[in-house]
Amino acid sequence: MMKKIPVTKPCFTEKELLLVKEAMDSGWVAQGPKVAEFEKKIALHEKVAEGVATTSCTTALHLAMKAQGMKEGMDVIAPAFTFVATENAIVETGAVPVMVDIKRETFNIDPEQIEMTIQTKYCRKSGKLVNKESGNILWGIVPVHEFGLCCEIEEINRIAEKYELQVIEDAACALGAKIGETHQGGFGNTSCISFHPRKSITTGEGGMILTDDPELAKRMRELRTHGSTVSADARDKGKGFLLPEFHEAGYNYRMTDIQGAIGLAQAEKLDVIISEKRRGASLYDRLISDNLPEFITPREPAGYFHTYQSYVCMLDLATLKLQGTAEGGIFRNELLQRLEDKGIATRQGTHAVHMLDYYKNRFDYEPEDFPVAYACDHLSITLPLYAGITEEDQKYVVDMIRKTIDEMGEK
């Protein structure tokens, strides 16, 4: 029988079932005490004051953006290489995403490109940065901590302060990531994390906003409950027979207590999961260095703590003797298909958002507008990595890649 290795695998034990049963037996399966406890546990781990749980990181981003005033008539800087949810959340507020290229070494947004974009596209009018073409006001920056590695958030915050911009960290992949002793979420006003099954811990679907601002957290909790000034938990403890007041239009972005129960069990093993993934990443580094000169391994800059939500490599065009990004993309896709046929699940890292139909057509983008993002779109490869992956399986993955590349060279 062919060995099958998934690209990721959630780490579940009996504890998740036990806590879910507790929630179900209590009769409280909508948002309630389990979610509140989960919020506190994650906030404590990331060393921030408040956690606001949501249905996904996408809704967390949208909620954080709306609560902080992002709206139509505004521009927002975001990386061109990220999962599309980053830009989609901006669009949902009515604002316009202004894409900026990334650094190939880290897959994260390039601060120099941020500043260049501000200086070339905007001028100061009445104390605001105004887009020279559209007239939109530049609201701020949404940097992404891609694949579990913090971006250069301190430099980005310096730029934001210089130009009086706001910052929301898209930390979907980066729960537990740090620079020095400061966790993601500790560098600015808000960060948004994901509990999708490909993340270090999962609630099936789910997200959370982290902040040190209690008033902002209060406003986001109201907005996630249709704009209600009273939570379901508070209603239950008061006059539960009366509906609360609604002072503004909001959303139903509430996590269920079933998900909160799963999250509580998952949170207990977060540090172990991250440690396991870092161990696996270190082994891949050695195996690839010894066997796959065609691969460029991910980088962990000095002082950074990478959580390796994904282990993403790049193909080396020079070693493969391939002529350019397009040819490299064809080679990469064939390699991924052949590995899939051998039972090894791999993935493209993520996508160049400017080349997705909606954004390409709306903004008339070309591949060369963000060449590094375009190259990473075509040449990135995510290898299987999860807590519990064995050394034997990792060696098998690398051996199969070596064998497959050799087979492709014999065509």
Whether residue 146 is predicted with pLDDT greater than 70 in this model: the reply is yes
CATH value at residue 84: 3.40.640.10
106 and 243 both lie in a single domain: yes
135 and 279 both lie in a single domain: no
65 and 205 both lie in a single domain: yes
133 and 182 both lie in a single domain: yes
- Which residues have C-beta within 8 Å of that of residue 362, sequence separation ≥ 6? none
Contact 19, 261 (CB under 8 A): yes
CA atoms of 167 and 153, how far apart (whole Å): 9
For residue 236, the model assigns a pLDDT of 59
**Domain final residue, candidates 240, 269, 298:** 269
237 and 125 both lie in a single domain: yes
Q: What is the pLDDT of residues 230-278, one digit of tens each?
A: 665 555 565 566 677 888 899 999 999 999 999 999 999 999 999 999 9
* Residue 243 domain-assigned (yes or no): yes
Range of the domain at 49: 14-269
CA atoms of 41 and 144, how far apart (whole Å): 23
66 and 122 both lie in a single domain: yes
31 and 91 both lie in a single domain: yes
CATH value at residue 287: 3.90.1150.10
Bridge pairing between strands 178-179 and 128-131: unpaired
264 and 276 both lie in a single domain: no
* Residue 2 domain-assigned (yes or no): no
Provide the pLDDT confidence category of residue 15 given band limits of 50, 70 and 90. Answer: very high
Give me the torsion for CA of 399, 405, 410, 411, rounded to 10°.
Answer: 130
Provide the pLDDT confidence category of residue 1 given band limits of 50, 70 and 90. Answer: confident
Tokens of residue 233, six digits: 């938990």
User: What is this structure's pTM?
Assistant: 0.95
233 and 295 both lie in a single domain: no
More confident residue, 100 or 232: 100
Weakest mean pLDDT among 1-10, 111-120, 133-142: 1-10
Contact 150, 170 (CB under 8 A): no
Amino acid present at 324: G
* Residue 8 domain-assigned (yes or no): no
Whether residue 316 is predicted with pLDDT greater than 80 in this model: the reply is yes
147 and 281 both lie in a single domain: no
What is the total count of domains within the chain?
A: 2
Q: What is the pLDDT of residues 159-198, one digit of tens each?
A: 999 999 999 999 999 999 999 999 999 998 999 999 999 9
Whether residue 143 is predicted with pLDDT greater than 70 in this model: the reply is yes
Mean pLDDT score of the chain = 96
* Residue 366 domain-assigned (yes or no): yes
* Residue 85 domain-assigned (yes or no): yes
For residue 397, the model assigns a pLDDT of 99
What is the percentage of the chain residues whose pLDDT exceeds 90? 93
* Residue 9 domain-assigned (yes or no): no
22 and 71 both lie in a single domain: yes
233 and 282 both lie in a single domain: no
Tokens of residue 215, six digits: 């008033």
